[in-house]
Structure 1
């Protein structure tokens, strides 16, 4: 079968968005499928100075990555911290991807799968599906515009009406809408999605690549955190992620002289957080730049506890992909987020961590202290998480679901 995958992010870019479709495409190839990717040139979470020359020139590029035919299109790279600029960039990207997709002949698709956000890529997939007469699956990872409304990023009533209309249009035109949790499915249906074509397909984690490992490794040695009780966060540091709770919790953990927070990643609010840490005289929080994909398991191995945090305003039932990686590595989770969401339900069902209300630094620190004072409990919860990830978030299992979804249309 011939697949066309459309995504704004793809390796060598770093982040869950690029890794998810890379792993999906690679597994499809391993199962004998033909896979073409339409994506952009790498600009997100990459060191531009270390990029190969092939990514620095030209408007289009065709390359092969692990058996996948990757077609890259040069897009605008506007400031991510300016919401209007990001919106303009997303619509231009959607048009450019559609235009490039028109000229794919020898790899014409029998199934089209698109990653959202950004939402406008749903238009790209719909247009190409009509022309190529192939079903398209809209893979919804972040519920937009609701997520932007909750965070206060999107306030204009006119723009809200526009994006809600676009959201309903895409849900209606997609052959299938896939979500990673039941809560997300319910939201899609409430926003116009037809119940019969909204499917839950959990996000996957490659348990063959992320697994329990020794705490002492090259990462822990390089950053001088051996012998510490390490509480880590690894991922995008954006508007949704609440890293302030880490800085605010330090006051409750003063008696734990060997406890160290390690924050790995980059994002639009990182500079503010680093400035806040300096001005507050906090010396047990280490900020580290975003690391390559192959280093990510070592970050988890170096940790005693791993955290996932979201702002109080985030009400959409998101399941951060980092939680699946933490579980696969056999580490306990401390999550600070809306307790009515789907991620706390998974953590409770798996018995792999502790969830507290968002932005409650005292409760957050008490959860960390439970694992600090009871290393046996930390090990037990970590083992529970690993077992649950193996049984429920298998990459092969999720790929089979997608193949079944497309072939049935």
Structure 2
């Protein structure tokens, strides 16, 4: 089976879409598929091309058995709306052109970003092959939620196109059951929607002793470290976290923020203005270094802003941290909270509720019996959401779409 997979994010980028796509492709190849990934030069989230790459019209490389085709696109940082749309649309156009020249038994696209689906649908029609739409975010609904764009006819048009894509796709693969329910409530046939959630690479993320050299480098030796590792975006409520940390008198608790994004500069500035001493900000690190940073933490912080839209999401951060037996401090209601509580893998606070957040931090730090119980719950959660198993399930979806 020849899979042509169009995705805006792919390693060496280290965000959740890049990781999910790469690890799925590896498993599909292991099971006998041939995979061509069409992507752009790595630039997320800054909009600047990574060292060793150029924003060229066409570049082909082999990455662990995956044929990776990188095409030119207009690049913009992960902030604002108009320039990002131009970024997305340009990749959809050049990705479609590149896809014409690669053999496909099935075409796969992942959203967001949303415009890649124009390329997926176009290649499906041109090649007369099925097209599978992987749905990782309810876009453009999430634009409204974070206030990235004012209400307008443009948003209405984007939502109309969103529904058009769902109807035209041979299959839709949603990453949460709530996404499936949302689509069904909007008239999309339930039988064409499959759910394949995010998970953890159990070979890469395993329990490790604390990396003492990194602890010393970060100045967190002997501290109870709570780590946020990932994109610092509009949705992630990190300014709220920093303002809450400023109210925390316990100097034995230290917060570690690793990553970059649209809100990084703002969050660092707020921490500086408030005189926050027990927080460290680190630039993004390569994926093979993420485990080291998780190892020095005692708990994983997973917050989002308080919004109805985000009750449907399951942040992928919880799976990697659970695989390394790091209890989760979750500020997300809905699906994610159900998973964490069902498995007993962490404590939950009401999003953007400072008193509740600080109470759960102290509770986790001060109760060693609770902490040990939550570590056991992390092990249960990770076993259920093993990425290798889930990638196999998605491959079966692709095979059914062809059949």
Shorter-chain TM-score: which interval? over 0.9
What residue in structure 2 maps to residue 366 of structure 1?
359
What residue in structure 2 maps to residue 268 of structure 1?
262
Q: CA shift at 1:57, angstroms?
A: 5.8
CA-to-aligned-CA distance 1:147-177 (integer Å, 9 cap, x gap): 1111122323201211111100110011111
In 2, the alpha carbon distance for the partners of 1:375 and 1:276 equals 32
In 2, the alpha carbon distance for the partners of 1:58 and 1:148 equals 30
What residue in structure 2 maps to residue 165 of structure 1?
160
In 2, the alpha carbon distance for the partners of 1:220 and 1:131 equals 54
Q: Is this contact kept in 1: 2:327–2:371, CA < 8 A?
A: yes
Which of 73, 92, 95 aligns to 2:93? It is: 95
Which of 379, 385, 389 aligns to 1:386? It is: 379
What residue in structure 2 maps to residue 35 of structure 1?
35
Q: CA shift at 1:366, angstroms?
A: 0.6
Matched position secondary structure for 1:61: strand
What residue in structure 2 maps to residue 77 of structure 1?
75
Residues 234 and 142 of structure 1: CA distance in aligned 2, closer, same or farther (over 3 Å):
same
What residue in structure 2 maps to residue 282 of structure 1?
276
In 1, the alpha carbon distance for the partners of 2:243 and 2:178 equals 30
Matched position secondary structure for 1:396: helix
What residue in structure 1 maps to residue 51 of structure 2?
51
Q: CA shift at 1:252, angstroms?
A: 4.3
What residue in structure 1 maps to residue 322 of structure 2?
327
What residue in structure 2 maps to residue 312 of structure 1?
306
Q: Is this contact kept in 1: 2:313–2:336, CA < 8 A?
A: yes
Q: CA shift at 1:399, angstroms?
A: 2.1
CA-to-aligned-CA distance 1:159-198 (integer Å, 9 cap, x gap): 1211111100110011111111111111122233211111
In 1, the alpha carbon distance for the partners of 2:160 and 2:26 equals 34
Q: Is this contact kept in 1: 2:112–2:135, CA < 8 A?
A: yes
1:127 maps to 2:107: no
What residue in structure 2 maps to residue 2 of structure 1?
2
TM norm structure 2:
0.95
1:301 maps to 2:299: no
Task: Within 5 Å, give how 1:165-184 maps onto structure 2.
Answer: 165-184=160-179
Matched position secondary structure for 1:362: helix
Which of 370, 374, 392 aligns to 1:400? It is: 392
Matched position secondary structure for 1:5: strand
Q: CA shift at 1:320, angstroms?
A: 0.7
Q: How many residues align?
A: 400
In 2, the alpha carbon distance for the partners of 1:81 and 1:202 equals 27
1:357 maps to 2:318: no
CA-to-aligned-CA distance 1:184-233 (integer Å, 9 cap, x gap): 11112223321111111111211111011112344323212121110110
Matched position secondary structure for 1:177: strand
In 1, the alpha carbon distance for the partners of 2:2 and 2:298 equals 43
Which of 193, 201, 206 aligns to 2:201? It is: 206
Matched position secondary structure for 2:202: coil
In 1, the alpha carbon distance for the partners of 2:62 and 2:146 equals 39
1:14 maps to 2:14: yes
Bigger Cα displacement from structure 2, 139-148 vs 38-47 = 38-47
Q: CA shift at 1:45, angstroms?
A: 4.4
Matched position secondary structure for 1:315: helix
Q: Give the aligned CA root-mean-square deviation in angstroms.
A: 1.7
In 1, the alpha carbon distance for the partners of 2:350 and 2:46 equals 33
Q: Is this contact kept in 2: 1:14–1:46, CA < 8 A?
A: no
